[in-house]
């Protein structure tokens, strides 16, 4: 089995951006100096205690990236397609009284999806 090519510092940066957490904020949550966060974000690997603490601080389970389960889709496998046979979409609409009278939902949904 081939070891996944995971650059954990880059992945943490991506999750921080996604969750809009700054380096200073992550340092505060981890109770470390901002320079420590800078250093961590340049690392290809980090120790498991740090990985655990960062996972808790960002509410993201980085350990799943290292799963050896065949069903697990690791983030370094970007070419893999997520196979979902169907999807159920629930949309909540706020309609004005005149819209309720017309009840032209197809048009309203199309506008919302633009």
pLDDT at 12 over 60: yes
SS3 104: coil
Structure-model confidence comparison of residues 73 and 109, the more confident one: 109
Burial class (CB in 10 A: 0-12, 13-18, 19+), 11: middle
pLDDT at 23 over 60: yes
**Poorest-confidence range of 4-18, 26-40, 64-78?**
64-78
Domain-located, residue 110 = no
Structure tokens at 86: 């169907």
Domain-located, residue 28 = yes
Measured between alpha carbons, how far is 52 from 39 in angstroms, rounded to an integer?
A: 17
Please report the pLDDT score of residue 62 as a whole number: 86
Total count of domains within the chain: 1
Domain-located, residue 19 = yes
Please report the pLDDT score of residue 63 as a whole number: 85
Domain-located, residue 30 = yes
Please report the pLDDT score of residue 37 as a whole number: 94
Domain-located, residue 107 = no
Domain-located, residue 109 = no
Domain-located, residue 90 = no
Domain range for 37: 8-66
pLDDT at 81 over 60: no
Domain-located, residue 114 = no
**Percent of the chain that is helix, strand, coil (3-state, to 5):** 50, 0, 50
Measured between alpha carbons, how far is 22 from 17 in angstroms, rounded to an integer?
A: 8
CATH code assigned at 18: 1.10.260.40
pLDDT at 1 over 70: no
Structure tokens at 42: 């340049």
Please report the pLDDT score of residue 73 as a whole number: 56
């Amino acid at each position: 089995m081939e070891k996944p090519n995971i650059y954990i510092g880059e992945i943490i940066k991506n999750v921080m951006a996604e969750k809009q957490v700054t380096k200073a904020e992550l340092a505060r949550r981890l109770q470390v100096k901002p320079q420590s966060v800078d250093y961590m974000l340049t690392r290809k690997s980090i120790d498991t205690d740090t990985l655990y603490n960062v996972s808790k601080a960002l509410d993201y389970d980085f350990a799943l990236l290292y799963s050896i389960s065949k069903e697990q889709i690791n983030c370094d496998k970007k070419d893999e397609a997520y196979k979902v046979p169907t999807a159920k979409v629930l949309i909540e609409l706020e309609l004005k009284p005149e819209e309720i009278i017309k009840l032209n939902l197809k048009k309203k949904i199309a506008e919302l999806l633009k």
